[in-house]
Structure 1
Amino acid sequence: MMAKIRIGVSVVVVVAGVVLGLMIKAMAAQAPDIEVFASDVPVSIPVTNPAQLDYLDGLADNLKKINTSCKQKCINVKKRGVSASGKDVRVNLQKIIDEASKSQSTVYLPAGTYGIKGVLHLRNNVTLIGDGEKTVLRQLQSNKELVSMENVRNVTIYNVKLDQSKVKHTTRESNHTIRIMNSAAIQMSKLVIKGSVSKSQQEYGDAIYVAQKKLYSRKTEQIVAKNIVIDGASRNGIAVVGGQNMLFTDITLKNMSHKLNAAIDIEPDTGAEVRNIKFHNVEVKNENIHVWTETGTINNIVLDKVRALEGRLIIKGKVNNVLFTNGSAPYVTIEVEKDETLRPKNVKLLNSTFSNTKLKEVVFMSGENIMIENCIIKGGTEYGVRDVGIKGYFVMKNTQVYNSKGDGVFLYRAKHVELIGNEVSENKNYGVMLGNTSRSTVDTVVISGKNQFYNNGRDEIQIRLPKSKIIIGPEEQIEGF
């Protein structure tokens, strides 16, 4: 496909290939010292460790098998006289859990509602099972978390509904439904979580909170959450503020309407690190997904088949190695937090769809080393893809960008830009704008892999980069120099 490209007079153009024929010869006659070569090799941006991914995928298999029935080494709380009428049974239930810890037994909660006035602590080597949504653990006291796992190991909670919605919290932001702190080998499966409720802008607790504090030496690791529905929270749906090696899979988050926070919040505490976390097959009905930090560090995050139906994906601050794949979101921002030292690095958007018609842009970037591959980017009132201060590499490969009311792709700060096999069309202004600002720092641009630029409102590609090198691959058929 022939596309029109306009290049400013101060650009050094490096062109290769027989396809351009006489055009190359004419340019060479005017500038005999021009180097002629092509590059069709995409830049490798390391965002995941395959071995670590395999480990996370098999994490649930590495933990003990869940005892889903009450046959051996099991305590039926009903037979111990624990009522399921909704009245407070915390003290008696806690005694049974403590007993089960010593014998590494399962605690079975038959169908019914178990009132908890205060905090229920799960101990080492305990499995707590119920009869699905018919088994309800309900918080009766305000300003308290419901279930706590603190400095413990080998704990499972299975097939239970946790209800934090019947009390009105008035203080603290730590009234979590489930709190996990300095604990390892934790499994949560087939849960329904009704989170704490706030009708104001106050923050009263996360549905699931995972942390690692300096209070204990035990690391928070090997956390598995599977087949969980989270229905509301007055703070975050899932908050990971410390720890490593976690898998969250087959999860739905809905009614997350608290505008100050997020459905998923990966945000380490001051000085803490979050490392090796995978979210798989997650649907967020509303609210944002946060991967950000100002005072901690984040490394190796995989968001696979994560669908944000209304909220934004925000990657911000001291974040390294993030892969968002096979998912969707209306908006993505990859940006610096306050200063240049807090810059996301090595971010890849793969096989995903990003679309909105209401926000200024669809993908907003100021990180370092960003790759968009096999994606669909649709809409934006001013831009489809917008660079506001990228460093290092920007690679866009086999991606469709269309229907922006302004520019399809606007880039000016990445040192090295590669556009490989993309389709940029039906944008009302420029298809691709490279430069157009005195602050441009682009050094090299590679255009290869049979890109298609067409039906854009102004030029298909406009390049305004002082003293930059433009490399056109041999497959390209571009006219209008």
Structure 2
Amino acid sequence: MKNLLIFLLIVNLSCAQEKFSYKDVPDTYIKKTDVTSSFNNLKNQSFEVVKILPSNYKKDGSQDYTVYIQKAINENTTVLLPNFPVLINDKGLQLKDNSNLLFDENSQLKLKATDRAGYAIINISNKKNVSIYNVKILGDRNIHLGTRGEWGMGIRVNDANNIKIYNPIVKNCWGDGIYIGGKNFSSNVNIIGGLIDNNRRNGISIIGGDNILLQDLVISNSNGANPQTGVDLEPNNQQNKKLNITLKSIITFNNVLSGLTFYLDNFKGNEISNDVQIRVTDYKDLYSKNGISYSNRKSQIKKSLQGNIMLNNIDLKYNQNPFRYLYNNSSLDNINLNVTDFKSDHKDNQGIVTELQQFSQKKIKYNK
């Protein structure tokens, strides 16, 4: 009994030591892509939401203006949000085909406190040709009224095509900052520039996608509900069909479990899948427990995965595990893994590189 009490005390102390601590992202890490020209051209032809707000409208984000903004979106191709914070309820904003949503310099969508397990502050479902400029979203995680669920999203892109999101700043959502997927998959989605910070589940989840580009983004401080990861590539099932993704110049920073996760288990099914095409170039992680995590459990029933994963110019710092194989049976199946210029500050960096090379050759990694 005495030994058991000592063990429990050690476990409790260990858990206390691992309590999440928020870290500010250095300003020099955050990039903003220059869309000034296209933004100004669209702004000149936009409908200004402020024109249909009540005459005594408030500029402090305390008044719910969801119905007015939705009306503007429904009736116009290009919409300019008010140049001040506005409150949005948990119905969110439903965008439409062939449309543009513009955030002015001081625009921000703030979610009104809700007890809903899931929501989407901006919802792009079964839509095409949608562009959003200079997005600023503040979720309700700090004022959330319930305890259930983990599906409160800042931006949800479901079964959508040709979506462009420029310079998003998405913080404090109950679930993911940005969610990309659908019953099948979304295609031709570009998210360029910006900061995804302090969201409760993942910064960005990609469930299924063809020709998805994440570029010049910082994804940080994901904490609260597993997987607690910066960028999580995790199909729900084989119906998601495609995982054709490019990550370019991405920084993940101080995410609880992992900076970047390849969680491919659920992609397996009754047919061989040849649709894993993932390219990660100029990627950095700092302070996440695991820099990169990988899972594709070997199965005697489900068919194997095929495709390619390329990791080029990877730089991992201050991780407990720079590269972690999840579970005790991680397989590449017939995925070709190509790793060039992989480095970390871990004392056994060469051993990690050797393991990656062996993993690529042997196609399977057993953990004890």
Partner of 1:345: 335
Query: Are the aligned partners of 2:43 and 2:80 in contact in 1 as well (CA < 8 Å)?
Result: no
Query: Are the aligned partners of 1:162 and 1:194 in contact in 2 as well (CA < 8 Å)?
Result: yes
Separation (CA, whole Å) in 1 of partners of 2:139 and 2:96: 21
Partner of 1:230: 196
Partner of 2:177: 207
Q: Does 1:151 align with 2:126?
A: yes
Separation (CA, whole Å) in 2 of partners of 1:89 and 1:266: 34
Query: Are the aligned partners of 2:49 and 2:68 in contact in 1 as well (CA < 8 Å)?
Result: no
Query: Are the aligned partners of 2:124 and 2:157 in contact in 1 as well (CA < 8 Å)?
Result: yes
Counting aligned pairs with the same residue, the percent is 22
Q: Does 1:295 align with 2:266?
A: yes
Letter in 2 for 1:356: H
Deviation at 1:135, TM superposition (A): 0.8
In structure 1, stretches of 5+ residues that fail to align are 1-59, 197-203, 363-376, 395-412, 415-481
Partner of 2:71: 95
Aligned length: 295
CA offsets 1:107-154 (integer angstroms, 9 cap, x no match): 01132111001211111111111223x211010042232111111111
Larger radius of gyration: 1
Partner of 2:89: 117
Separation (CA, whole Å) in 2 of partners of 1:179 and 1:236: 13
Partner of 1:445: none
Separation (CA, whole Å) in 2 of partners of 1:309 and 1:253: 11
Partner of 1:76: 48
- SS state of the match for residue 146, structure 1? strand
Q: 1:75 and 1:292, CA in 2 relative to 1: closer, same or farther beyond 3 A?
A: same
Query: Are the aligned partners of 2:336 and 2:360 in contact in 1 as well (CA < 8 Å)?
Result: no
Within the candidate set 245, 254, 257, 1:286 is matched to: 254
Q: Does 1:266 align with 2:233?
A: yes
Query: Are the aligned partners of 1:294 and 1:342 in contact in 2 as well (CA < 8 Å)?
Result: no
Query: Are the aligned partners of 1:128 and 1:157 in contact in 2 as well (CA < 8 Å)?
Result: yes
Q: 1:344 and 1:336, CA in 2 relative to 1: closer, same or farther beyond 3 A?
A: farther
> RMSD of aligned C-alpha atoms?
2.9
From the two aligned structures, give the one with the greater helix fraction. 2
Query: Are the aligned partners of 1:227 and 1:250 in contact in 2 as well (CA < 8 Å)?
Result: yes
- SS state of the match for residue 180, structure 2? strand
Deviation at 1:393, TM superposition (A): 2.6
Q: 1:243 and 1:392, CA in 2 relative to 1: closer, same or farther beyond 3 A?
A: closer
Scaled by the length of structure 2, the TM-score of the pair is: 0.72
Scaled by the length of structure 1, the TM-score of the pair is: 0.56
Separation (CA, whole Å) in 2 of partners of 1:93 and 1:389: 53
Partner of 1:356: 346
In structure 2, stretches of 5+ residues that fail to align are 1-32, 269-274, 297-304
Letter in 2 for 1:237: G
Q: Does 1:160 align with 2:135?
A: yes
Query: Are the aligned partners of 2:150 and 2:225 in contact in 1 as well (CA < 8 Å)?
Result: no
- SS state of the match for residue 290, structure 1? strand
Deviation at 1:253, TM superposition (A): 1.4
Equivalence map 1:301-316=2 (5 Å):
301-311=278-288, 312-316=291-295
Q: 1:354 and 1:114, CA in 2 relative to 1: closer, same or farther beyond 3 A?
A: same
Query: Are the aligned partners of 2:53 and 2:65 in contact in 1 as well (CA < 8 Å)?
Result: no
Separation (CA, whole Å) in 1 of partners of 2:250 and 2:69: 33
Q: 1:231 and 1:162, CA in 2 relative to 1: closer, same or farther beyond 3 A?
A: same
Letter in 2 for 1:243: G
Deviation at 1:328, TM superposition (A): 1.0
- SS state of the match for residue 131, structure 1? coil
Separation (CA, whole Å) in 2 of partners of 1:93 and 1:159: 17
Letter in 2 for 1:263: G
Deviation at 1:185, TM superposition (A): 0.7
Separation (CA, whole Å) in 1 of partners of 2:253 and 2:221: 7
Deviation at 1:172, TM superposition (A): 2.0
Separation (CA, whole Å) in 2 of partners of 1:72 and 1:388: 52
- SS state of the match for residue 205, structure 1? coil
CA offsets 1:219-275 (integer angstroms, 9 cap, x no match): 510000011211111101010001211111010112223473211100101222332
Partner of 1:200: none
- SS state of the match for residue 246, structure 1? strand
Separation (CA, whole Å) in 2 of partners of 1:304 and 1:340: 23
Separation (CA, whole Å) in 1 of partners of 2:109 and 2:326: 42
- SS state of the match for residue 134, structure 2? strand
Deviation at 1:67, TM superposition (A): 4.0
Deviation at 1:170, TM superposition (A): 2.2
Query: Are the aligned partners of 1:129 and 1:157 in contact in 2 as well (CA < 8 Å)?
Result: yes
Letter in 2 for 1:186: I
From the two aligned structures, give the one with the greater strand fraction. 1
Query: Are the aligned partners of 1:68 and 1:129 in contact in 2 as well (CA < 8 Å)?
Result: no
Separation (CA, whole Å) in 2 of partners of 1:188 and 1:339: 37
- SS state of the match for residue 352, structure 1? strand
Partner of 1:322: 309
- SS state of the match for residue 233, structure 1? coil
CA offsets 1:395-450 (integer angstroms, 9 cap, x no match): xxxxxxxxxxxxxxxxxx99xxxxxxxxxxxxxxxxxxxxxxxxxxxxxxxxxxxx
Letter in 2 for 1:156: S
Q: Does 1:245 align with 2:245?
A: no
- SS state of the match for residue 171, structure 1? coil
Query: Are the aligned partners of 1:67 and 1:127 in contact in 2 as well (CA < 8 Å)?
Result: no
Separation (CA, whole Å) in 1 of partners of 2:147 and 2:223: 18
Query: Are the aligned partners of 1:291 and 1:319 in contact in 2 as well (CA < 8 Å)?
Result: no
Within the candidate set 148, 154, 161, 1:177 is matched to: 154
Letter in 2 for 1:146: I
Partner of 1:130: 103
Letter in 1 for 2:285: A
Separation (CA, whole Å) in 1 of partners of 2:353 and 2:287: 19
